[in-house]
Structure 1
Amino acid sequence: MCEPTSDAPDPYPSRRRLLGTVAASATAVAVPLLGTDRAHATERTTAAGNSATTGPQGTGKALSVTLLGTNGGPPPLATRYGISSALVVNGRTYVVDCGRGAVTQYLRAGLSMPSLAGIFLTHLHADHIADYYAFPMLAAGAAGAQGFHTPVEVHGPGPAGIASTVTGAPGPLPGTVAMTRLAGQAYASSPTFFMAEHTGTDPATLLNVHDVLPPGTVGASATNTAPAMRPFTVMENDDVKVTAVLVPHGAVFPAYAYRFDTDHGSVVFSGDTTPTPNLVTLARGADVLVHEALYPEGLTGLGLPQALVDHIMAGHTDVAELGRIAAQSDVRTLIATHLGPGQRTAVSDATWRRLLRDSARDADYGGRMLLGSDLMHVAVR
């Protein structure tokens, strides 16, 4: 179902080859690496000089990933924060998705607001954007390590091209640019009051927002959400080149997976998706693939009706598929996140690890598979 593109040239031949080894460490609790004996031997070798840390600050690494939140779905949990990740490149931070609690977790991870260089939204479901506008709204006018020093570049899905069915919100669905403008209008009282006392800043001035739309030649639409395509460039600067592909996620359009290529390695974020050749193409040869994971039996154990379980499965990836996706993509490390269900009473960490181990074995995947947890920190190089 998720075959790699045959005989296609590698679109990422340069930056990823500069990576040496990938070291993994977790905040508070070390997360075992899963897979073959070779993978475990690699863990012992590379982890020897990389102790667990309380966050990416002070690690001296040029490229690292921190999972700010790992819960899948909008319902809030006490034990997991909403889906959000942070990629640090040469001291600059790029946040991918802004689920519930992302701002709190960002600070708990030891990241500073002045280091925030970009925000990337994979799609506009509530569990991925709940804390998005909280970043500029809470940092507006704050000084020093609590505020922004320069505007943050934001990239997120453009308009879907369909009408809204929400009461009181007629017209077409907003993309990221329009959503940001509307959020600024909805929360206008707070900055207005602060600015009247000369203590605040208009949050809109702290963001430079871009709608991401797929190339017109792809033929994508709300009725053809993820046709086969090559990755296209979203953004590039001195630190990183960001490319994207469309991924299928139920009725959502556009929904993206993003790849970050740096001189120190490559990291891919799947967003919410079912298995798709587009993601395999995007992730090929990456050092780290951060991928969503769903366990259908865990959903059934919550007492959900089978029709709802089937509906959720139609827009997500069964954890049993992750080994095959990792193998076909030829990635060095896969990190499972956006865990569904996220309740440990429904699916224990031990069960998730067993499922990942079984998936790797069934696919003969010899790389490493990590179970994501909140504030888990992975030093890439």
Structure 2
Amino acid sequence: MSLSITMLGTGSPRPSLERSGPSQIVSINGEPILIDAGEGVVNRILQSNYKLNQIENIFFTHLHGDHIYGYAHFLIAGWGSGRKHLTVIGPEGTKKMHELVLQMYHEDIAYRTSLGFPTEGLLNANIIEIRDTSSIVSIDTGLDINVQASKMAHNVLTFAYRFDDGTHTIVISGDTAPTKQLVTLSQDADVLIHDCCLTTTSMYSYTTRSEMKEVWKNLQKEHSSPTQAAQTAHQANVKNLILTHFLPQIDVDEIRTEVEKIFSGNTIIPNDLDIITP
């Protein structure tokens, strides 16, 4: 059994040359699974040495712009690269989002099909929507792994995902404030990839603009700090904690110190394109 995680994008809605929008590839036994498709995802996939037509499964934690900005590019470019199958999994609204992308690019799609491109891998995409529920739900993906989803604490319908192949378990939180549901979903996981938007040195935390102070206050209800991520990892008894979703101007040493006061497992504060093999 083999496992690797490629952190394609570790950033936030704020554009950054160093950190692309939220996205990662979890590769289990050679099957690459894309989770979220933030800005720059296609370039990051190519830089990571994956091929676009390799990726036939994508999960969305939620449909905020920073997690879907790159989807249209991924959808069209992967199809043009020869992808034959695509399964898209996400919260209610995922199908509408997918169909809107097809509508927006209908002239481009019509042109390419007139050249002889087959429609497989684009127009036959399998869209699976997860309904709003307080229960942990199992998802039939057709993959040889067990996938579960649990609703998180965010201001739109958001799901964390647990991937389990019988040997390795990975949980991806998506955007969330602290919630018992994530502790339950993450119990004894090998890896927890956790939202870490609320760092003390990030650009919103020290602003003097009154309107941005209000933004920072409201973000506390929707995201997590290093301390909160560490508490979840500790309570869930996970082995490895990977932090992501960073606003600009983070202090990596400060984050690590904050986390290690609480969590005794392995803490990883990645850059874009880091490959992790726990």
Taking structure 2 as the reference length, the TM-score comes to 0.92
Q: 1:238 to 1:83 in 2, by over 3 A?
A: closer
Share of identical aligned residues, percent?
A: 29
1:175-190 aligned at under 5 Å gives the runs 175-190=93-108
Q: Which of structures 1 and 2 has the larger relative contact order (alpha carbons within 8 angstroms, sep 6+)?
A: 1
Superposed structure 1 runs of 4+ greater than 4 Å apart: none
Taking structure 1 as the reference length, the TM-score comes to 0.68
Deviation per residue, 1:1-24 (Å, 9 max, x gap)? xxxxxxxxxxxxxxxxxxxxxxxx
Q: Provide the secondary structure at the position in 2 that maps to 1:278.
A: helix
**Aligned residue number for residue 108 of structure 1:** 47
1:1-381 aligned at under 5 Å gives the runs 62-72=2-12, 74-140=13-79, 142=80, 146-148=81-83, 150-158=84-92, 175-199=93-117, 201=119, 204-205=122-123, 207-215=125-133, 218=134, 229=135, 231-250=136-155, 252=156, 254-293=157-196, 294-298=198-202, 299-304=204-209, 305-339=212-246, 341=247, 343=248, 346-347=249-250, 351-361=251-261, 363=262, 365-380=263-278
When Rg is computed on C-alpha atoms for both structures, the one with the higher figure is: 1
Q: Provide the secondary structure at the position in 2 that maps to 1:135.
A: helix
Unaligned runs of 5+ in 1: 1-60, 159-174, 219-228
Corresponding pairs, count: 274
How far residue 205 of structure 1 moved from its aligned partner, in angstroms, is: 2.4
- Give, as a single letter, the amino acid of the residue that structure 2 aligns with 1:279: L
Determine if contact 2:150/2:161 at 8 Å carries over to the other structure.
yes
Q: 1:98 to 1:118 in 2, by over 3 A?
A: same
Structure 1 distance, partners of 2:28, 2:121, is: 25
Structure 2 distance, partners of 1:87, 1:155, is: 15
Deviation per residue, 1:246-302 (Å, 9 max, x gap)? 00112x1x2110110013301000000000000000000000000010214422335
Unaligned runs of 5+ in 2: none
Structure 2 distance, partners of 1:332, 1:270, is: 15
Q: 1:303 to 1:68 in 2, by over 3 A?
A: farther
